[in-house]
């Protein structure tokens, strides 16, 4: 049976690409934006504290994938979707002191946040929807007394988020 060399080369290339991707997945470093299961966002006390925490996590196998810094937030996104950030005092004030969050993926972040607020209110909790906390990041926050010091944030899938323009990446 005759197999053209170019077909053999393409087949080998596909096999190698699949093997590399599998190895990256097995080591917690998925290079693709799928799946996007949201994020867990933890706050650091200062920019120096954020850098130290990211260093500790990296030394223990949780590597930084990308940094997305804006005027109000220094943000390190790790390969597992965890985010470690430091927020400027103005951002923290807009979020009524909430410094950590659970990030949820939504097709319509505002509608999802308002629906979640309704659910929380029906259970007797206070719930406030806050938009435009960071002008460069279209994320809608839900602040509630059901989770003091923590917010829920709703954002579109990572492939629909704006490319960092004013935000800087590393």
CA 105 to chain centre: 9
Domain that holds residue 154: 39-169
Task: Reply yes or no on whether the pLDDT at 45 is more than 90.
Answer: yes
**Mean of per-residue pLDDT scores for the chain:** 87
Q: Domain check: are 144 and 96 in the same one?
A: yes
Domains in the chain, number:
2
Total-model pTM: 0.73
Where residue 60 sits, what CATH number does that domain have? 3.10.180
Edge-to-edge strand ranges of the sheet holding 168-169: 127-130, 140-144, 150-155, 100-105, 39-43, 82-87, 73-78, 64-69, 168-169
CA pair distance 60, 91, nearest whole angstrom: 30
What is the pLDDT averaged over residues 145-166? 81
Q: Count CB neighbours of 22 within 10 A.
A: 10
pLDDT band for 137, please (50, 70, 90 cuts): confident
Percent of the chain residues past pLDDT 70, beyond the cut = 91
The pLDDT tens digits of the residues spanning 122-135 come to: 999 999 999 988 87
């Amino acid at each position: 049976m005759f197999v053209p060399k170019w077909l053999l080369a393409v087949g080998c290339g596909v096999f190698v690409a699949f093997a590399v991707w599998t190895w990256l997945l097995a080591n917690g470093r998925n290079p693709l934006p799928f799946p996007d299961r949201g994020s867990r966002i933890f706050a650091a006390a200062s920019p120096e504290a954020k850098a130290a925490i990211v260093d500790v996590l990296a030394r223990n196998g949780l590597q930084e994938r990308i940094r997305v810094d804006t005027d109000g937030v220094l943000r390190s996104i790790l390969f597992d979707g965890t985010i470690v950030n430091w927020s400027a005092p103005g951002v923290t004030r807009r979020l009524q002191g909430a410094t950590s969050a659970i990030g949820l993926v939504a097709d319509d972040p505002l509608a999802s946040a308002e629906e979640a607020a309704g659910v929380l209110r029906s259970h007797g909790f206070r719930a406030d929807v806050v938009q435009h906390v960071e002008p460069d990041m279209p994320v809608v926050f839900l602040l509630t007394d059901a989770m003091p010091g923590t917010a829920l944030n709703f954002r579109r899938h990572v492939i629909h988020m704006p490319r960092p323009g004013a935000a800087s990446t590393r």
